[in-house]
Amino acid sequence: MRKLSILGSTGSIGRQTLEVARKAPEDFTVEALTCDSDIETLYEQIVEFRPRVCSVVREDKAKELSGRLKSAGIDTEVLSGRVGNITVATLDSIDTIVGAIVGFAGLEPVYHAVLKGKDIALANKETLVAGGDIIMPLIREKGVMMLPIDSEHSAIWQCLKGEKREDLDRILITASGGPFRGMSRQQLESVTVQDALHHPTWNMGGKITIDSATMMNKGLEIIEAHHLYGIECSRIDVVVHPQSVIHSMIRLKDGSVLAQMGKPSMVLPIEVALYYPDRGPSIVKEFDPFEAATSNLTFEACDTEVFRLVKLAYETGDKGGLYPTVMNAANESAVRAYLDGKIKFLDIERTVFETVEKMDPDIKNMNLTIETIAQTDKDARIYADELIAGKIKS
Ligand code: NAD
Ligand code: MG
């Protein structure tokens, strides 16, 4: 039985994790839940799963939730703020955390959970992009498990099972191509937030949906795979596969290509992570190769001249150090601004490129520690926000 703390339980991954836990109460206990501010959803989850502890980042919302729980006679303890997240990630009563917070905010609780010897089921790719060089060695040092949830990385993990690492030649990471696949730069100038939020195959949180539209999501995933599987970014190819049936492939040194397939649903990769090394029950409808939608599988290259953030991810991923941290932070700021209607679609890319360029001299020779990562993330956001506010002219 896994004893879970689910960080970011009200989001898309958090809710699907609870779907897995709901199906098999004999296999999981839900000890703790957290969110940023959506206490309506969190309240319902607490009523159903009765965790010992929960945490809400916003203090006013935490107080409100605490009052509601008391009135209902529910004794779940309510914590708040950054400290609340860390407490919930390091409870003695848990063995596994599910990292389903969106963005860099997920790194700190994951770091503390590893220090405390917890297994990490990780959806939050920004944690590895910004802090992979610290987190992965710590995972090995502490002897805990890193259980990938991101569907591509779950696919790669499953394909690699039983293979010798030195036999891995390349990773072929698949991408749906997002809502703007095939568009020109000129067409991208005028796409709206509504267009960008309309993903063709996946139903996800707002930030990752915009990342899928810019293809930054694939860029982040290349760096995520580099950390998880110890392979250089230059040995990871992006394969655009609009049907999202093959979740990724590996090529071995003899030329064999192994793929993992399934319907586009995150429930299965969550389940694979949480049951590892066993296999859980069938929860999602099985993949049927004869269904019309899946009978025609196609593959194409990613146009990195149109979706330039993918190219930048290869560059920052190869440089390593604090470069991916800066790229990730600038991207988070820019995506927020785009969702708030402050900038246009291609300004996301412009903001990220300019922030990486501007911060290059500052970060070039900086040591990599958890503190320098946090400080660099802050600095990059400040620079990106000033760029967005028009205080800095490019
Ligand atoms: P979401 O926006 O739907 O949910 C995010 C969750 O994080 C919410 O519960 C929110 O309250 C919480 N949160 C935000 N800031 C927080 C903070 N500072 N402290 C505590 N909680 C906080 O996002 P999502 O789509 O579920 O994605 C979560 C992560 O999983 C992202 O890193 C994303 O890239 C990754 N991921 C998501 C999917 C997917 O299908 N949704 C697939 C693969 C990977
Ligand atoms: Mg993915």
* 114-163 pLDDT, tens digit each: 999 999 999 999 999 999 999 999 999 999 999 999 999 999 999 999 99
Any ligand 1 atom below 6 A from CB of 134: no
For Cα atoms 134, 137, 141, give the angle at the middle one, nearest 5 degrees.
130
pLDDT in tens, 155-181: 999 999 999 999 999 999 999 999 999
Protein residue whose Cα sits closest to atom 33 of ligand 1: 124
Confidence of residue 292 (pLDDT cuts 50, 70, 90): low
Give CA–CA dist 110/92, Å, rounded: 15
Query: Cβ(57) to ligand 1 under 6 A?
Result: yes
The predicted-structure confidence for 215-251, as pLDDT tens digits, reads as follows 999 999 999 999 999 999 999 999 999 999 999 999 9
State which ligand 1 atom lies nearest to the alpha carbon of 37: 11
Among 289, 283, 258, which residue's Cα sits nearest to residue 271?
Answer: 283
Residues pairing with 56 in the sheet:
35, 80
Q: Is the pLDDT of residue 252 over 60?
A: yes
Whose tokens are 């998880």? That residue is 228
100 in contact with ligand 1, CB cutoff 6 A: yes
pTM: 0.97
Identify the residue whose C-alpha is closest to ligand 1 atom 16.
36
Q: Is 79 helix (H, G, I), strand (E, B) or coil?
A: strand
Q: What pLDDT shows up at residue 286?
A: 86
Supply angle C-alpha 368, 371, 377, rounded to 5.
85
Structure confidence by residue, pLDDT tens digits, 49-65: 999 999 999 999 999 99
Q: Among the listed ranges 59-68, 101-110, 132-141, 283-292, which one has the minimum average pLDDT value?
A: 283-292
Omega before residue 25 within 30° of 0, cis:
no
pLDDT of residue 294 exceeding 70, the answer is no
